[in-house]
Amino acid sequence: MTRTSRDRRGTSGFTLIELLVVIGIIAILIGILLPMLSGARYAARTVQCSSNLREIYNGVRMYANDWKDKFPDSYALGGYTYRMVPGLRTPSDPSAMPEVYGLAALLHGIYVGHDFTKMGVKPKYLDSKSGIWICPGASDLLKGYGNTYSFSIASGLQKWTSIHRGRTRAAPLVFDNYASKPYLSGFRVGSTTGYTLPAAQRQYPHRVGSKKYGATNTLYVDGHVELNKID
């Protein structure tokens, strides 16, 4: 028995024109959705980074409670603004020692001369191995150091108490690093020559202005966090 024309029409597939129309609609939807998804991803990274910085601020405040209301000074931090996570060594220098300086080490409670073969120091204010020390928008290079945040070593910080910190919003405390190499592990600062990342290795952790411009999150001494465009 032969099929009727009606049967043939009922089982026929899409025509070429119909397929092209569907493909075109899908392409348009993808073009609309991809920027939105990209923007949501950048926004999520920025929010997570802000949360990290606020947790670090809580750790710094607990430190200050034990040190006459003073924030960590340059000497306690090793004299340089960016350090890798405690216990790591600078891979390019055979003279390097396990890192014992920096904000992550200080808040963990690690001191100079600690035996890193035992790693028996329990976190005092903030765990140095926590993901809090890594901004999700930072480059893989910086993430490999276990810490992506720089910190202020300004001399004025050691003189300020909570009274002074509550009056100013101008002084940064901790901020996204994107331009510095970590200082030689295990040593206080000497010369800082050669510790700047080449332009090709720099990656802005955040974006602003329709995602065209780089930006960094900055934690200020009064505890608030701002997203700042990089000029």
pLDDT score, position 70: 92
Q: Find the range with the poorest average confidence among 114-118, 130-134, 167-171.
A: 114-118
Q: Which long-range contacts (CB under 8 A, 24 or more apart) does 59-62 make?
A: 59/107, 59/125, 59/126, 60/103, 60/107, 60/125, 60/173, 60/174, 61/223, 62/125
Mean pLDDT value of segment 70-94: 93
Residue 6: is its pLDDT beyond 70?
no
Instruction: Give the residue, 119 or 215, on which the prediction is more confident.
Output: 215
pTM: 0.81
Mean pLDDT value of segment 1-10: 50
Distance CA 70, CA 45 (A): 31
Mean pLDDT score of the chain: 85
Mean pLDDT value of segment 178-185: 96
Nearest to 204 by CA among 228, 168, 186, 222: 228
Residue 54: is its pLDDT beyond 80?
yes
Residue 12: is its pLDDT beyond 70?
no
Distance CA 182, CA 204 (A): 17
